[in-house]
Chain A
Amino acid sequence: MKKILFIAGILLLVNPFVAYSIEVGCNMTVSGYLKNETAVRTHELDDLLKIEHTAQIEAEYRISDNLHVFGIVREFYDSVFDAEEKYRENRNLLSRTRGINWLRELYLDYYSTNLDIRIGKQQVVWGTTVGMKILDIVNPDDQREYVLDDFADSRIPLWMLKAEWSPKVNGTLQFLFIPDFKHNFISPAGSPFTYQAVTLGAEKVGALERLGYHVHENAIRPAKTFENSKIGLRWLDVFKGFEYSLNWLHGYEYSTVKGPSGAILPRVIIPGPPGLPPLGSTMILESKHPQVEYFGGSFTKTVTAGYLRGLTTRGEFVYTHGHKNGYGVEGSQVGIAKVDMWKSALVVEKYVITNWLVEFQYIMMGLTREKEHGYRFLLGPTQGTLDQVETFLTLMVSTDFFYERLKAKTLIVYGDNNDWRFSPRFDFEATDKINVALGFHFFNGHRNGLNGEFRDNDEVYTEIKYSF
């Protein structure tokens, strides 16, 4: 990896005005970027949330017209874990690319008229909603920054086989075989964007340890075996301008359900507080990934004539059979139960005045029953109680100025429990190679809400990116 970064550095230093993509011979293209992202809290401008430096190199080698190899390597370093004392504890886990995650994508493509095959480490995208994911379920997520990262960056690529077969001109059947497994990555306690549920869990573990208990967390991951592989199918078709897809995915959920699974008793039994094992016991917390079936679908229709000309409507739906969810009271989980879950989105999009694009999303998420043993189900990231159906509305407005040199967009997410996020962003193309951005994220709502839990994290951020 060091070698790759060194070569990238040399390429930039030797000739900073090189053409953007570098053609290495006639069959190979290399490009990449260096980027800095810095974020501070708006309440206290010296309170840093991110000082992330990223280097990425992308390369494509064309073996023949219908056989290509493509790879992306990416390394980042977030200096906020050096700069801010309060995050120092998580420095080793969060400050840099870990393991072989620097190998972001690597795959071989085979193309033919009716069959495309992509084999290797990759990401596959099914859904198209903005700000929240509905049908985008194939890859796990890196949620170290909640959902603020571009989805292409926050998706965790997996080793898989993707085959696309087209029995008719506009109809394609996609087959996925995913033997690889990675879980959603969420930040541990004491990070800039730690979910409230994680903080509450850490506090409970701390309280138990102060009482004299030991706590052992046992994360059970599905073994990477043939039987545990994820399998997916998607039929995508365009019929008289109406595009639809039918989706099915079988495998383990990327998120976990976590609960106590027993205790190892000490040699000397000293009774503990009511409801707890003897003092000195080792309590085992087990996290598991439920095996689920996803059934989904989507549609898109652009009105190309008549009164509503120019209006695009989109819809997405996913039903998760076999989902497991915690239940309990606000901030405290009592148990775990199997309950099917569904999510849907209805989207309307239109250019209103020349280049002002307005997109409205009506998103619903629900469970097939409201309660378990008299308790309400809980929202995973916050442990707040869930209504049987939760509704979110989003509005995105985007435009550009000065021949697309300055682009502006803003996203507003509103949850029915008065849970808000407001994210304006401005991108400026200084030159072909240098882009700068300024943006904000404002959160509001109850602590138990998806956005409200980060209401102390209102941030202003800048990005500067040098591409080659």
Chain B
Amino acid sequence: MKRLAVVLGLFSALLLFTLFRSSPAGAEELKIQVAPGGCPECCDFIEPHEGMSADDLMRIKYWIKYTKFARDYRSDGNFYLIDKSGLSRSRNFNRFRMLLHRDNREYDYKDLTVITDPQNIKGLAILAWTYKEPTRDQDIWLWLPSLRKIRKVSQSEADDAALGSDWTTEEMSTRRWEDETYKMIGEKKFPGFTSKYNGKTYYKDTDCWVVEATPKRKPWYYSKRIVWIDKRHGGNIFDEIYDPLGRKFKVQLKVYEIWGDKHCVPQVHLEAYDLNTGHSTINEIGNIRFNSGQDENYFTEKTLMRTKW
């Protein structure tokens, strides 16, 4: 009898553990509205609505961040690294992504970024395969133009600055929904953010949900972030990030385009400010195309080897 009780106890613990891992309290199946078959350029969409939990809103946020509403994505962009004195350095890049989460059991998406300027790092290319399993790191290959060779590399530490920017590696590409816990703060109108880069004020009086996200990893370089989520599409338009002592040390702005008739919501302009160092990073993304029919073969080492520079 005792043995049976122990076995049942272990089984229940295992079951609870599994359930807890796969479906956190409050999470519900999000209703994805699939793009009509007759419109190859259209995107799937999830409509955020009143009464949604913070967990679900953040699921939508990640869905939009990684453009999971599309089948593939490509864009050209540049980012400017601006220090306190105003000195600006720039990086231009092409980005390609193939979303595999619908049909593939193993991969979530594959992503290729190629730096096109400046000349001294021109050609640097990063191929990353992201897995569905949330505890599994990306597989990453680099094309190193100065050496003319490919190297498979370890994923950078999540708190490292990505390509010298104010975005950490996890903010840029590796953070997942499972990495934080979420608490709804409420519904507010966003007061607006005036860019130091172009002087424009973005999103003044936009209706938002405000969510507090706390990292599960401790100690970590931030203690929490306050995420402002646009009610129109569920993308986060502004993040306020707090250090382990509770002081705000970073803010990030994300500007989206809403392709109303096609339901695609790409990010087109990003700004990140380090309030301690005065350094900022501005990203401008253009020439965006969704569902252009990219092939998975493109996201392989062979493509890296095509790089000439």
Contact = CB atoms under 8 A, between A and B. Distances in A.
Most B C-beta atoms less than 10 A away, residue of A21, A70, A400: A21
B139 A241 contact: yes
A310 B147 contact: no
A116 B306 contact: yes
A87 to B, nearest CB: 28
Contacts of A288: none
B166 to A, nearest CB: 8
B171 interface: no
B126 to A, nearest CB: 14
B154 A312 contact: yes
Contacts of B198: none
Interface in B100-126: 116-120, 122
A448 interface: no
Given A310-B155, A312-B152, A169 B296 contact: yes
B148 A403 contact: no
A93 interface: no
Contact of B119 (A33, A70, A111): A33
Contacts of A431: 87, 89
Contact of B152 (A302, A305, A405): A302
A311 B153 CA distance: 9
A27 to B, nearest CB: 15
A403 B146 CA distance: 20
Given A113-B297, A355-B160, A151 B148 contact: yes
Interface string B113-153: 00011111010000000010101111110000111111111
Interface string B20-62: 0000000000000000000000000000000000000000000
Question: How many B residues are at the interface, by size bracket?
Answer: 35 or more
A310 B118 contact: no
Given A302-B140, A400-B164, A166 B302 contact: yes
B119 A302 contact: no
Contacts of A465: 120
A400 B302 CA distance: 29
Interface stretch (A38-46, A346-354, A417-425): A346-354
A172 interface: yes
Interface string A271-308: 00000000000000000000000000000101111000
A127 B148 CA distance: 11
B297 A60 contact: no
Contacts of B90: 432
B70 interface: no
B89 A405 contact: yes
A164 B297 contact: no
Contacts of B300: 166, 169-170, 172
Interface string A54-69: 0000101000000010
B159 interface: yes
B163 interface: yes
Contact of B156 (A68, A309, A351): A351
B139 A302 contact: yes
B149 A125 contact: yes
Contact of B302 (A70, A127, A172, A404): A172
Nearest to B134: A305
A32 B302 contact: no
A70 B122 CA distance: 15
A139 B75 CA distance: 36
Nearest to B144: A152
Interface string A110-143: 0101101000000101011000000010000000
B309 interface: yes
B289 to A, nearest CB: 14
A105 B112 CA distance: 25
A311 to B, nearest CB: 7
Contacts of B148: 123, 125, 151-152, 155
B139 A403 contact: no
A116 B151 contact: no
Question: How many A residues are at the interface, by size bracket?
Answer: 35 or more
A150 interface: yes
A113 B296 CA distance: 9
Contacts of A433: 118-119
Contact of B157 (A113, A354, A429): A354
A243 interface: yes
B269 interface: no
A305 B149 CA distance: 26
B146 A351 contact: no
B119 A404 contact: no
Interface in B268-307: 279, 295-297, 300-302, 305-306
B89 A302 contact: no
Contacts of B155: 302, 304, 310
Contacts of A136: 149
Nearest to A152: B148
Interface string B213-251: 000000000000000000000000000000000000000
A380 B146 CA distance: 28
Contact of B295 (A31, A113, A405): A113
Most A C-beta atoms less than 10 A away, residue of B120, B155, B295, B296: B120
B165 interface: yes
Contacts of B306: 109, 111, 116
Given A172-B302, A304-B138, A60 B308 contact: yes
Contacts of A435: 120
B255 interface: no
A411 interface: no
Nearest to B145: A152
Nearest to B299: A169
Interface string B71-88: 000000000010100010
Nearest to A125: B149
Contacts of A20: 117-119, 122
A150 B117 CA distance: 20
Given A125-B148, A304-B131, A432-B90, 6 more contacts: A113-B297, A150-B147, A166-B302, A302-B139, A304-B136, A465-B120
16 contacts: A21-B117, A58-B309, A109-B308, A116-B305, A125-B150, A150-B146, A150-B147, A151-B147, A302-B139, A312-B152, A349-B154, A351-B154, A355-B157, A403-B83, A429-B89, A467-B118
What 9 A-B pairs are tightest by C-beta distance, nearest first?
A404-B164, A467-B119, A304-B137, A125-B149, A300-B152, A152-B148, A20-B117, A403-B164, A432-B118
Interface of B: 81, 83, 87, 89-90, 116-120, 122, 131, 133, 135-140, 145-157, 159-161, 163-166, 279, 295-297, 300-302, 305-306, 308-309
